[in-house]
Amino acid sequence: MPRAVLALARDLLRYAGARRAMLAGALMAAGAVAEGLSLAMIVPLIAVIGDPAAPRWQGLLGPLCNGLGLCAPQQQLGGMLALFVLAFALRALILAWRDLVTTALESGFVEHRRLALVRALAASQWETLAGLRHARITYLLAAEVIRLSGAVRNLSTGVVSVVMLLGQWALLALIAPPLAALFGLVALAALGLGLPAWRRAGQLAEENRGGQVTFLNLAQQMLGGLKLALAQDLQHAFVAEMEQASGAILQRNRAHERRMARARVGSACAAALGLAAMAWIGARQQVPLAALVAGIAVFVRMLSPGGAVLRAIRQLAQQVPAHGELLAMEATLGKAAAPTLPAPDAPPLRGEVRFDALHFARPDGAVHFEGLDLALPPGSRVGIVGPSGAGKTTFVDLLCGLLTPQAGRILIDGEDMHGPVLPRWRASIAYVAQDSFLFNDSLRRNLTWGLPQVSEAEIARALELAEADTVVAVLPQGLDEVVGERGVRLSGGERQRLALARALIRRPRVLILDEATNALDLPSEARILARLAALEWQPALLIVAHRPEALAVCTRELRFEAGRLMEDRQIG
């Protein structure tokens, strides 16, 4: 755990920067001094109340007393009370400022780490993403970020408590050295006795993390397959699996809480014994009454930051692995990569595509393109056909830049796709899949995804071209209607029409339809495809389809079989 805590501390300091880190450190030190000063006032105050004529407190605050003219006996109590109130007010102001600065650093750092993972996701290769469990990503962005927030908070609390504890211990050493030595022994014993519990807390956190990811994965599967399960009365299998995963987590947590309860009882007993020992040592060592009372007050006050340090260490053992998990995922996704955006002043692409001696083989060997050479001129209308698993989707993924060839190149207007032209190329593509993805949001947001400046006229025109205007017309709230998770409140054909409209709003140079009209009736499909072929900006059309009616507007056909391009011919 120490290495993980140090790694978190270094990362936090890098985020904070020198200025903010120094400010936070200075406020922590100032808080400790203010805490010590407010506690130090107890000694002279008790001395003045117990014996107003005795100047025993002047050795501690004599210069301040003389400077303020508060040394006359009739002025001592009033002056001491005024200084006491002033010291506590100053302490409150410093601690409030410190807490504002540290809290801002904590929350800013946590969101910085979350957004770093989001950026890594956006910049990663599709091959990497396709192999990851979505439940793990979701858990990292939600639960692990919450754990990281707790770790940062406990790290900050622990540092603040240690600084406060050191300041109070130094004050106790000035008031009553034997009592300070006793507290040091008690603190070392508490640290030693707590090590097994802290190790177990870290192990529990890792066990629970695996259980929570399993539970989340089951929940996602249940939501995705609940309609099918309900139709066949299989939903109880989901519940049984989730009950088993939840029961294991609950059992581990209960065992851990029993151990922590025993530790809290032990800590309380140890504190009581320490206070008793302090009173006994003070009496045996003949510590002056004012110093003894003040020392006991400081000792009691030290129990709070001391307990905070122990709690912070225990909780850090559970929480700090989240930082390593987030960094590990960033590294897996390609931490050094950064999302690229097309340059705002870049000239538009013509959309000429050429596969130049391309070699690509899937790891399972199901698709194997060897020396693939073909050209797709701007405005092409190409049908892509073949049985399932023949390589059609792989070809489209290569065309979109989602997959990287092992050899050869894909050229866009004469430039290598996997270079500076890639973001511009992707921005010029619209891809409509068979299973049209819709957000659980309004139709308007689904249609204008990534294009906030779209006009109402552009939306209306796209809806008309896709014959989706009739879908919107019957909805109670029109474009403001919420479509449900993945568009569940719409039929398959309605989702496909809306996905086509969304693609047309982009005015792409290349429009890829991957079984994107198979849920439509044949007359509707024919009308929509005819409109797409006649679009005024003449995009290239690539239509992946099994039924021949969808290829009526195509002038060229690419046939794939057994993972290879078997035929490239003109049709129509």
Question: How many structural domains comprise the chain?
Answer: 2
- Return d(Cα 31, Cα 13) in angstroms, integer: 20
Averaged confidence pLDDT in the chain: 79
What share of the chain has pLDDT > 90, as a percent? Answer: 20
Q: Kindly report the CA angle at 367 between 363 and 368, in degrees rounded to 5?
A: 90
Model pLDDT for residues 147-178, shown as the tens digit of each residue: 888 888 888 888 887 877 787 777 777 766 77
Q: Is residue 393 part of a domain?
A: yes
pLDDT at residue 557, as a whole number: 94
Model pLDDT for residues 460-478, shown as the tens digit of each residue: 999 999 999 988 888 888 8
- Considering the domain architecture, whether residues 319 and 386 belong to the same structural domain is answered as no
Three-class secondary structure of residue 228 per DSSP: helix
Q: Kindly report the CA angle at 448 between 525 and 445, in degrees rounded to 5?
A: 105
- Considering the domain architecture, whether residues 288 and 377 belong to the same structural domain is answered as no
- Considering the domain architecture, whether residues 38 and 117 belong to the same structural domain is answered as yes
- Considering the domain architecture, whether residues 438 and 301 belong to the same structural domain is answered as no
pTM (2 d.p.): 0.72
- Considering the domain architecture, whether residues 433 and 383 belong to the same structural domain is answered as yes
Beta strands in 413-471 (DSSP E): 415-416, 429-432
> What CATH number is associated with residue 122?
1.20.1560.10
What is the DSSP secondary structure assignment for residue 390, as one 8-state letter? S
How crowded is residue 287: how many other Cβ atoms within 10 Å of its Cβ?
Answer: 22
For the cut 70, the answer to whether the pLDDT of residue 338 exceeds it is no
What share of the chain has pLDDT > 70, as a percent? Answer: 74
Q: Is residue 293 part of a domain?
A: yes
Residue range(s) defining the domain that contains residue 400: 353-570
Find the mean pLDDT for residues 420-441: 87
Q: Is residue 359 part of a domain?
A: yes
Find the mean pLDDT for residues 432-446: 85
For the cut 90, the answer to whether the pLDDT of residue 408 exceeds it is yes
- Considering the domain architecture, whether residues 489 and 541 belong to the same structural domain is answered as yes
Task: Identify the CA nearest to 255 among candidates 201, 336, 326.
Answer: 201
For the cut 50, the answer to whether the pLDDT of residue 57 exceeds it is no
- Considering the domain architecture, whether residues 289 and 206 belong to the same structural domain is answered as yes
pLDDT at residue 55, as a whole number: 44
- Considering the domain architecture, whether residues 560 and 469 belong to the same structural domain is answered as yes
Distance of CA 233 to the CA centre of its chain: 36
For the cut 90, the answer to whether the pLDDT of residue 333 exceeds it is no
User: Among the listed ranges 55-69, 198-212, 436-450, which one has the minimum average pLDDT value?
Assistant: 55-69
> What CATH number is associated with residue 515?
3.40.50.300
Q: Is residue 55 part of a domain?
A: yes
Between residues 356 and 311, which one has the greater pLDDT?
356
Model pLDDT for residues 256-271, shown as the tens digit of each residue: 667 667 666 766 676 6
pLDDT at residue 260, as a whole number: 65
pLDDT at residue 58, as a whole number: 44
pLDDT at residue 559, as a whole number: 94
Q: Is residue 348 part of a domain?
A: no
- Considering the domain architecture, whether residues 435 and 400 belong to the same structural domain is answered as yes
Find the mean pLDDT for residues 518-540: 91
For the cut 80, the answer to whether the pLDDT of residue 311 exceeds it is no
- Considering the domain architecture, whether residues 395 and 253 belong to the same structural domain is answered as no
Q: Which of 283, 301, 333 is the last residue of a domain?
A: 333
Q: Is residue 269 part of a domain?
A: yes
Find the mean pLDDT for residues 99-123: 86
- Return d(Cα 173, Cα 168) in angstroms, integer: 9
- Considering the domain architecture, whether residues 307 and 452 belong to the same structural domain is answered as no
Q: Which of 91-100, 234-243, 257-266 has the highest mean pLDDT?
A: 91-100
- Considering the domain architecture, whether residues 22 and 150 belong to the same structural domain is answered as yes
- Return d(Cα 108, Cα 211) in angstroms, integer: 29
Q: Is residue 346 part of a domain?
A: no
For the chain, the straight-line distance linking the first and the last C-alpha, in angstroms and rounded, comes to: 69
Give the side-chain half-sphere CA count within 13 A for 532: 37
- Return d(Cα 295, Cα 11) in angstroms, integer: 39
Find the mean pLDDT for residues 557-565: 90
Q: Is residue 338 part of a domain?
A: no
Between residues 238 and 556, which one has the greater pLDDT?
556
